[in-house]
Amino acid sequence: MTAPTLDSLAAVLPGLVLAPLLLGVINRTKAIFGGRRGQPILQTYYDIAKLLRKGAVYSRTTSWVFRAGPIVTLAAVLGALVLVPLGGAPAVMSFPGDLVLLAYWLGLARFFTVLAALDTGSAFEGMGASREVQFSALAEPALLVGLAALVKQAAAPSLAGAYAAITPQALWTGGPGLFLVAAALLVVYLAENARIPVDDPNTHLELTMIHEVMVLDHGGPDFAMITYAASLKLWVLGSLVVGILVPVRTGCMAADVAIAVAGLAALAVVTGIIESTMARLRLVRVPHLLVAATVLATLALVLAWRHAA
Amino acid sequence: MSAWIDTLMVALMLANLALLCSSRLRMLVRVVAVQGLVLGILPVLAEDGNVTVRMALLVVASIGLRGVVFPILLLRTLRQANVRREVEPYVGYTLSMLFGVVAFGASLWIDSRLPLTGQAFSSLAVPVAIFTMLVGLFLIISRKKAVSQVLGYLVLENGIYILGVSLVLEVPLLVELGVLLDAFVAVFVMGIATYHISREFDHIDVDQLDSLKG
């Protein structure tokens, strides 16, 4: 395990500060596509600030699990953020096999969101939890196999090493493997962050919600934590995609990080475009999409394997 | 150069997967057409851009048939026969896709065991060829519609073509044209047969042929 240096702060600080901005960019893109002016681009910050000032109401049927849910979720997503490199900046923590830990941080966050949802005893939340677990069980192989393909291709055992090995030149001459991984991770990014075509973040019908329905009973600071954790998750999975597609290395770390952040903003715009132009998939078709992502990641892994052999 | 060929190979592979998981007949026809186009360019890249008249002729004939004539014939059959749009598979789409992964693994294994004399221009060429053939066979046995069986046959033929191009670059012109002519006649006859089946029985569901057994 490499010791964290001051440089690696550059990989984490932009995430901590700018993550809620991505949601604003997505919403603004959707508003422009819909011919509306849209909410302020900083709306998520206002929401979080407002929620933090409020008190929380807890149902008498809930237990400590319900209160622990948002805290553990936020902590787990922060744990994931620490593992992901951004631009040229190294991740704060990096050791062989850290991609497995990344998948499990995200898994822990999801597990506690689901537990808190089940703890309320609401039928709707149970349904949302069931769907969330079903879809993420299919998305997780895609994430793990995709990252494994990256690691195999770079012949470096850690995430930071794998992403450092991706250069513009490798992207052009290394064949299509990297693009396959990027496509698979993009699907995981959309599915895990409850975006269209898997889930609609704006839906107001409990029957069709997946992620939103699980957090209906949370309020005040708890919901602020959930919102912040959701935007951090968007940032973490987004930077996995951007790390592949925008591997620009200028040599100056500040510039690299700025380019990566710009890439994330561009990805948010792309997400907004996808959401504006696509319809949500029928629930029975979603597993189909996720299996396709896993298949793409598997192909990339096989290609990387043959490349190494 | 090799990166380009590898990209084409992966494109062929993705087309195979798309064939396994798409549920609309028209979509299937289009994907087979795209696969035919990609196949057509393959010899040009394999020869490193040294185009001879003979090869140009073959490329044009192959692209014209696989990418234009076959799709038009099949789409016309679909229109005339008033087929429902769904593929109606015996094996579900997700399972089909998993079959795709297994089949690709199997073709990699077969490739490693196969004592080939020639040297393929890309290490992926032979596995992709075998994979395409397996997918073609799978389409033939796992889908109900007669049209998807024609498509399966075409995909199978595409696989054989990849194998031929990758191993023996200098296939005699006559053989090559003969194969193309065979495929053309087959698609033509099958298109007409499908049309007549649907006229006679109001559907092209080959499942019903079982009841013909005594």
Give CA–CA dist A180/A14, Å, rounded. Answer: 27
Q: How confident is the model at residue A307 (pLDDT cuts 50, 70, 90)?
A: confident
Residue A309, in any domain of the structure:
no
Task: Answer whether A298 sits within 8 Å of B100, measured CB to CB.
Answer: no
Task: Answer whether A302 sits within 8 Å of B21, measured CB to CB.
Answer: no
Range name among A122-136, A195-209, B101-115 with the lowest pLDDT average? A195-209
* Minimum Cα–Cα distance from B22: chain A residue: A288
Q: Which amino acid is at A89?
A: A
Check pLDDT > 90 for residue A115.
yes
pLDDT along chain B (214 residues), means of 10: 78 92 88 91 76 81 87 85 76 89 92 78 86 93 83 88 77 72 79 76 72 68
Check pLDDT > 80 for residue A224.
yes
Average pLDDT of chain A, as a whole number: 90
pTM here?
A: 0.90
Contacts of B185 (CB under 8 A, 6+ apart): none
Give CA–CA dist B20/B28, Å, rounded. Answer: 9
Q: Which of A106, A79, A141 is nearest to A237 (CA)?
A: A106
Give CA–CA dist B60/B65, Å, rounded. Answer: 8
For testing contact with chain A, the best of B12, B14, B91, B128 (most A CBs within 10 A): B14
Kindly calculate the radius of gyration of chain B based on its CA atoms and give it in whole angstroms: 17
A226 phi, psi to nearest 5 deg: -65, -45
Contacts of A306 in chain B (CB under 8 A): 108, 123-124
Residue A224, in any domain of the structure:
yes
Q: Distance from B41 to chain A by nearest Cα, in Å? A: 18
Which of A172, A180, A298 lies at the smallest CB-CB distance from B101? A298
Residue B153 CA: distances (Å) to CA of B34, B137, B147:
16, 7, 10
pLDDT at B192: 76
pLDDT at B173: 67
pLDDT at B66: 86
Range name among A177-186, A194-203, B177-186 with the lowest pLDDT average? B177-186
Provide mean pLDDT across the span A239-261: 89
Q: Which amino acid is at B143?
A: R
Q: How confident is the model at residue A66 (pLDDT cuts 50, 70, 90)?
A: very high
Q: ipTM score here?
A: 0.82
Q: Which of B60, B72, B73, B78 is nearest to B204 (CA)?
A: B78
* Minimum Cα–Cα distance from A289: chain B residue: B94
Structural domain boundaries enclosing A37 = 6-304
Q: Which amino acid is at A258?
A: A
Task: Answer whether B108 sits within 8 Å of A302, measured CB to CB.
Answer: yes
Q: Are A215 and A226 in contact (CB under 8 A)?
A: yes
Q: Are B152 and B30 in contact (CB under 8 A)?
A: no
Q: Distance from B87 to chain A by nearest Cα, in Å? A: 15
3-state secondary structure chain A: CCCCCHHHHHHHHHHHHHHHHHHHHHHHHHHHHCCCCCCCCCHHHHHHHHHHHCCCCCCCCCCHHHHHHHHHHHHHHHHHHHHCCECCECCCCCCCCHHHHHHHHHHHHHHHHHHHHHHCCCHHHHHHHHHHHHHHHHHHHHHHHHHHHHHHHHCCCCHHHHHHCCCHHHHHHCCCHHHHHHHHHHHHHHHHCCCCCCCCCCCCCHHHCCHHHHCCCCCHHHHHHHHHHHHHHHHHHHHHHHHHHCCCCCCCHHHHHHHHHHHHHHHHHHHHHHHHHCCCCCHHHHHHHHHHHHHHHHHHHHHHHHHHC
Residue A277, in any domain of the structure:
yes
Contacts of A252 (CB under 8 A, 6+ apart): none
Which of B6, B104, B105 lies at the smallest CB-CB distance from A175? B6
Can you name the residues that pair with B143 across neighbouring β-strands? Answer: B89
Inter-helix orientation angle B93-113/B125-142, to 10°: 140
pLDDT at B170: 63
Number of domains, chain A: 1
Residue A56, in any domain of the structure:
yes
Q: How confident is the model at residue A147 (pLDDT cuts 50, 70, 90)?
A: very high
B89 phi, psi to nearest 5 deg: -85, 155
Contacts of B13 in chain A (CB under 8 A): 299
Question: Got the DSSP string for chain B?
Answer: -HHHHHHHHHHHHHHHHHHHH--BHHHHHHHHHHHHHHHHHHHHHHTTT---HHHHHHHHHHHIIIIIIHHHHHHHHHHHHT--SB--BSS-HHHHHHHHHHHHHHHHHHHHH---SS--SSTTHHHHHHHHHHHHHHHHHHB-BHHHHHHHHHHHHHHHHHHHHHH-S---HHHHHHHHHHHHHHHHHHHHHHHHHHHHHSS-BGGGGGGG--
Inter-helix orientation angle A253-277/A9-33, to 10°: 30
pLDDT at B205: 74
Can you name the residues that pair with A86 across neighbouring β-strands? Answer: A89
pLDDT at B2: 65
Query: Which tens digits make up the pLDDT trace of A1-50?
Result: 555 677 778 888 999 999 999 999 999 999 999 999 989 999 999 999 99
* Minimum Cα–Cα distance from B5: chain A residue: A175
Inter-helix orientation angle B53-63/B173-201, to 10°: 10
Give CA–CA dist A152/A146, Å, rounded. Answer: 10
Provide mean pLDDT across the span A148-171: 87
pLDDT at B43: 80
Tokens of B198: 């649907």
Provide mean pLDDT across the span A64-72: 95
Q: Which of A80, A77, A142 is nearest to A112 (CA)?
A: A77
Task: Answer whether A291 sits within 8 Å of B104, measured CB to CB.
Answer: no
pLDDT at A1: 55
Query: Which tens digits make up the pLDDT trace of A258-304?
Result: 999 999 999 999 999 999 998 888 888 899 899 999 999 999 998 88
Tokens of A251: 């040599």
